[in-house]
Structure 1
Amino acid sequence: MAFRASNATKSSNVASVNVKHVDPENRKRPPVKAPSKDLPFLAKSAAEGPLEELATTANQLFQEAKTQLEQSGNIKATIKETLIECLSGLYTIALRLNDKAPCPVVQTAPVADFAKEVLEEIRKQSDLVVAARTDMGAVRETVEKLNDDINKNTLGGISYAAMAATTKSEKTSFSQPERVHSLIVSSVDAHDTSDDVIVKIRTAVSAKISGLRVDRLRKVRDQKVVLGCQTQEELAKVADKLRSGNPTLLIEEKANKDPLIIIKNVLSYNTDEDITGALKNQNAHLLAGIPEGNYRAVVRYRRKARNPLECHAVLQVSPSVWQNLTQAGKVHVDLQRVQVEDQSPLIQCTRCLSYGHGRKLCTEAADQCSHCTGPHLRRDCPHWMAGEKATCRNCQAAKLDKLDHDAFDKECPIRKKWDRLARLSVAYC
């Protein structure tokens, strides 16, 4: 007995193991039961059999139809044919019973109701299919019309495909500001203000009578005035007139600064000496014709790039080097061919967003947002995160109408004004 029990235990264990390895799909989907072989006989009995057997025949047809419907997910063709044949037999029985006395069989009434519900549901689904086909036709027509409109939509007579096929145009070259040669004029008298110095200059030069041409005149710090002329010869005449007209004026000639360029996305491992050496040695074809005495290139500072392994190097170069490199647009540095552009000499504070000084010399206590002018950085600005329009702090302070741009936007009218002033002291040629 113990031996049999152990065998039974083993067989049950084996059976349990076999059940665990059964295909999940087979467990979820039981095998489909084939239609009954007696179905043709039942259909014939419904049409020709005696009346006393109709109740039994109707019940068998009902059970067959029910079995087929219960095992179908989406009705297959064979199952549908079986269902129709069963319902047809039930319909024949109903016609025969209408000519005779009412049959006491109770099962026929729910079967007839079920058949009506099935036919009604099939009719509804058919209507939905027809409506869906109509909607698809309308959608197809709308899409075709949109495609026609897109193909007809052109910019200046050029389609989108033609515009995409064209090559990129050359980048517009930087428009050089007029070069101005400058003098710094101050007074021997420490009590004289900048306005007093301007009055003395106007009296000494007497431009209306002497015919001298002064292009720029602006006040600077320490009661000094900067005076500029378009040519070096005109500036020398003005200086002589000031010395002879008013000996109390101190005159100091101001040398113009070299312009700046920015070399973008240079690998950060390059030292300043590496960059200047590569600029001269690897780009000799761009610097040909520049005398050795006119070649100057010094790295002034570096700016962060998006890639932490790269940086933007800002160099101060001689005017001839600036012209050749900005026209070329690309230079070689080590194993890279990188972009080179003009760099504005304008200094903008990243704390208060004003011009003329940097963050280290700023007197403001809190950072100003370049997007909404609030007391926070742009990365913490809720308006910037929400995608709302920007408000320029400098244009707002100047009471301008157009404020919908960032304070660092190069198209800002206030920035353009300060940029022109900063470039006046730079020699681009």
Structure 2
Amino acid sequence: MSSLHNTSSEALSSLDLGQQSTPAEDPTYITGDEFEEALSDSTTTFNDEYFLKVSEHTNLILQNLDGNMSVTRLNKDNIKKSLDEIKRSTQQLYDQVKTILRHSISSTENKTVSLIKNTIREKLSKLAVQPQKITTQPLQQLIVNPSITPSPLPSYAKVVKSTKTAEKQTIPVTKPAIIVSFKQPVSCTKETVSAWRKSIHFKKHTFNPSEVKTVSNHKIRVEFDNQEQRDEILNAINQPDSLVNADVAKKRKPLVILKGIYKDTPVSELKEIIVNQNPNIKSLIKSPDDITYRFMRNNKNKNLYNAVFMVTPTIWRSIVELQKINVDHQRVHTEDYPAYLQCYKCMQFGHTKKYCTEETTICSHCSSSEHSYKDCPVKKDYTKVDCYNCSSHCKKYNLNINTKHSATSLRCPRLQKQIEICKTRTDYGY
């Protein structure tokens, strides 16, 4: 214990604070009250001479301006002299304030350092007087006990492994369905629904339809949970006394889009490249029509393009679940492509040009009714672009919507609405 006492004494003497000084002997020793008093007395009184000069010359300028109808040359000279004097006095006042502040800060810092030194000296003096209270047990415990050693930082691999990955989008499943139509000509879908309800009563069965939807041409689509239920209702509804006809709903082939393909990859070779470089897709192909190129879409990058393919349900599910497939030197992103219908004659949705009944052709670029997009004289002028569907919608409902896009652009809000509707359809062979 005596050695510890000697060590504390040596540590105290090694500090440049005065080894055995007392408050009476040390001229730099101050108390807290003395420090506050010195801080309050450190402000120097300003010289009033500069304030008086500024006020005097300001009044002279006002007199020269107010006492004359016009400012003479003599008055101008007097005003300039007064302004110069104001400028000089202001600069001297600024220099004086700067000097006072510098002196005040320096004095305050010196007294603060002195106060800190005295506080440290007092604490070390108490430590030297009572050395028996200090033990080395905490240090020994730190060395001997390994349980309190700091844990190592996690590796990059552990951090990546613990990071939650984005959940994949749930892929819809097509339910068995029938298409119901009225045997007689009807003017609205309500008549078909009424005839359907009169032709079949589900109280005689142990199930009911999972969903009933309206489709085009005043028909309805009735979905069931399984194929046995569908076939049972199909046989029950197709009777001579029934008011409606029922047919099995045909499943459409879904579409997928491949995004970001290099432009030096020929479209004509794209199908062959996909089949050869992706064995999991190749194993699902039963006939050449199982995967068919449909059309191209522009990419944000001018050096890339997007391609849309029509595929079978099994291939569609495989491609959508993979999210990326091999295409030549790339791994391109894949996703579902909603199969919306848009007529390139009238620009409306739900049918194609082949079945369009409108007489007028609309330009998808400038919305003119005098020519088609193929013959548009301003197709390369993007300042003339105007969406026909959005413009018509704005005029009809007196709305203010941005129409500076083509009628076939994916940025069109009317087209985006159709895409969202198509995403909810279940008549595809998923």
User: Shorter-chain TM-score category?
Assistant: 0.3 to 0.5
TM-score by length of 1: 0.48
TM-score by length of 2: 0.47
